[in-house]
Amino acid sequence: MSKSSKGILVGSISGFPEFLPKDQIAFNKCLELIRNQFESFGFSPIDTPAVEKASTLLSKGNDSEIYGLCRLAAEEESKKDLGLRFDLTVPLARYVAEHYGQLNFPYKRYHIAPVWRGERAQAGRYRQFTQCDIDIIGENELSLAYDAELLGVIYKIFHSLGLPNYLIKINNRKILMGLMEEFGVPKELLEGTIRQIDKKEKIDSFMMESGLCEIGLDQPTIGRILKFLDKKGSNQQILDYLSGFSQSPTLSEGLRELKEVLDLAKAFHVPDSLIEIDPTLARGLNYYTGTIYETKWLDCLEIGTICAGGRYQNLAATFTRKVLPGVGISIGVSRLIPKMIERGLIESCCETYAKVLVTAQNRKYLTHYIALAEKIRSHGFGAEVYLQDKPLPNQIKYADRKGFEVVVIANEEEIDKGMLNFRILKEQRQQSGKLEDLIELLEAL
């Protein structure tokens, strides 16, 4: 097992990360914060099985990423292949289709859970990682106001995490599709062209031109695309640029939708400075049909996109005939949170959720110490009793290393008087009092 940074470990199998206790607690606290934000916007939790039928997972054509499962020879009731989920969207599509009659629409759900992908492990990319998803699903139609609401969710989450210097890029896929029409890209080459454009941050202009040429585009069309990819400016300048095209109804519709989403985002108090219109933004997944989001941490671009998603016309088209449009995002917590811990932006200092360690100064009174810890817990504070037979200095050293805030010490004299000594480790001070005084102190910490 190797240590990569700040207690973040990589197990004996490449691409399957592990955490030291302090970092696992910090990670869990961040997930709880994100969960609270999701719920504050009215999203409800679900948890679908980690295992799905291979036919379900293959409905999006991602066979190279799926980890298949070996079936037990004795299991004869079903011959269908199974696999581990590679994302949370395909299981959501299956879930909504199967339970359609029992769900209230618009259906707002969040799902925080591990997924598995059989791809090459590298920095910031794992074979097992946690996805943090929200989606809003409608019946036949879904208001663009939900697209704006997701901008509000993104802002609230990253603000509460204390993430500095990040940028939410936004586009509408109809804008990109319409521009390709304006530039003369044939329909049969449209998807390939957009996939090539989606590589713009990973390749130089020469490779971009070569790729567009291999797709089969002529030089005038390639020239217009390359000029478009070099376009820079403020959000208003980009909107003005896009408004200069008038031939494509698709582009006009996408531009109208984008403006509506941006206007509504103001109602969710999303600062204009955090949003950048990027008409080149494609997101390779071909099921996006409208708004597209992609968030970058500008101080740490090497970890890639930290939040992404968009609008799709029909979530469950492969599972039901019902038209279920939706919009959703996924937060890359497995790449973001460890990096924030490493840079000291998220505190990672405690190996326990409990605030109090009750020491066993005199093992003759062990049952008293156990009862005392129970009383502390009854007031809503975590407490651990040191049950090993070790000297008091060893117990205090254990408390300090594990990150307890308060150490409770009581010997025969204190027990007889109903008193306690409690040491506040961070402040390196000690005081005496009754249990009520300890609870008051804990409430103040």
Q: Please tell me the distance from the alpha carbon of residue 206 to that of residue 63, in angstroms, as a whole number.
A: 31
Q: Do 82 and 52 contact (CB within 8 A), yes or no?
A: yes
Q: From CA 393, how far away is CA 391, in angstroms rounded?
A: 6
Phi, psi at 156, each rounded to 5°:
-60, -40
pLDDT value of residue 11: 63
Where does 115-218 have alpha helices with state H? 145-161, 173-183, 190-197, 205-215
Determine the 3-state secondary structure of 98 from DSSP: helix
Q: Quick one: pLDDT at residue 121?
A: 72
Q: What is the pTM of this model?
A: 0.90
Q: What are phi and psi of 137, to 5 degrees?
A: -115, 130
The full DSSP string for 140-167 is S---THHHHHHHHHHHHHHHHHT--SEE
In angstroms, the CA 204 to CA 202 distance is 7
The domain segmentation of the chain, as residue ranges, is 2-342, 356-444
Longest CA pairwise span in the chain (Å): 93
- The CA distance from 329 to 147, in Å, is 10
pLDDT of residue 301: 94
CATH superfamily name and code, 356-444 = Anticodon-binding domain (3.40.50.800)
Strand order in the sheet with 383-385: 383-385, 356-358, 406-409, 420-424, 429-433
Taking the CA atoms of the chain, what radius of gyration do you get in angstroms? 27
pLDDT of residue 62: 60
CATH 3.30.930.10 fits 2-342, yes or no: yes
Tokens 């790729």 — which residue?
A: 211
Q: What is the pLDDT of residues 314-373, one digit of tens each?
A: 988 889 999 999 999 999 999 999 999 999 999 999 999 999 999 999 999 999 999 999
pLDDT at 213: 95
Identify whether the C-beta of residue 191 lies closer than 8 Å to the C-beta of residue 366: no
- Can you give the pLDDT at residue 437? 96
Domains 2-342 and 356-444 agree in fold: no
- Ranges of residues in the chain with a pLDDT under 70 are 1-12, 60-64, 70-80, 123-124, 284-286
Cα angle for residues 76, 77, 82 (degrees, 5° grid)? 85
The DSSP string of 12-26 is: SSTT-EEE-HHHHHH
Cα–Cα distance, 330 to 327 (Å, whole number): 11
C-alpha 392/C-alpha 160 separation (Å) is 40
